[in-house]
């Protein structure tokens, strides 16, 4: 999976800023540049995290699911955890 381009990262960051502003979420001690740095760092490290997640998936799911299906499964689990927290 390819990293986001600088333009895509900037669009994601702007979307996050807008979402946070609209929901009145306060990022204590963080400014816009801090959030942008977090977006960049997570995107930079995502490939190694995906490799780790893939290694956790048992067979036959590991070989039976496509890369996108594995990521959708991972995203579904993250979203479910977000709702529980």
pLDDT of residue 26: 72
How many domains does the chain divide into? 1
Q: Could you tell me if residue 51 is inside a domain?
A: yes
pLDDT of residue 23: 78
Q: Could you tell me if residue 1 is inside a domain?
A: no
Q: Could you tell me if residue 32 is inside a domain?
A: yes
The pLDDT tens digits along the chain (85 residues) read 778 999 999 999 999 888 887 877 777 778 889 999 999 999 999 989 999 999 999 999 999 999 999 999 999 999 999 999 6
* pTM across the whole model: 0.74
**Are 3 and 43 spatial neighbours (Cβ–Cβ below 8 Å)?**
yes
Sign of CA dihedral 56, 61, 64, 68: negative
pLDDT of residue 64: 97
Q: Domain limits at 22?
A: 6-84
């Amino acid at each position: 999976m390819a990293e986001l381009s600088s333009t895509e990262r900037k669009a994601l960051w702007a979307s996050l800023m807008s979402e946070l502003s609209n929901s009145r979420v306060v990022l204590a001690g963080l400014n816009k540049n801090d959030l942008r740095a977090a977006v960049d760092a997570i995107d930079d490290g995502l490939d190694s995290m995906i490799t780790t997640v893939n290694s956790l998936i048992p067979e036959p799911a590991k070989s039976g699911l496509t890369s996108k299906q594995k990521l959708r499964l991972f995203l579904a689990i993250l979203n479910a955890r977000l709702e529980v927290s």
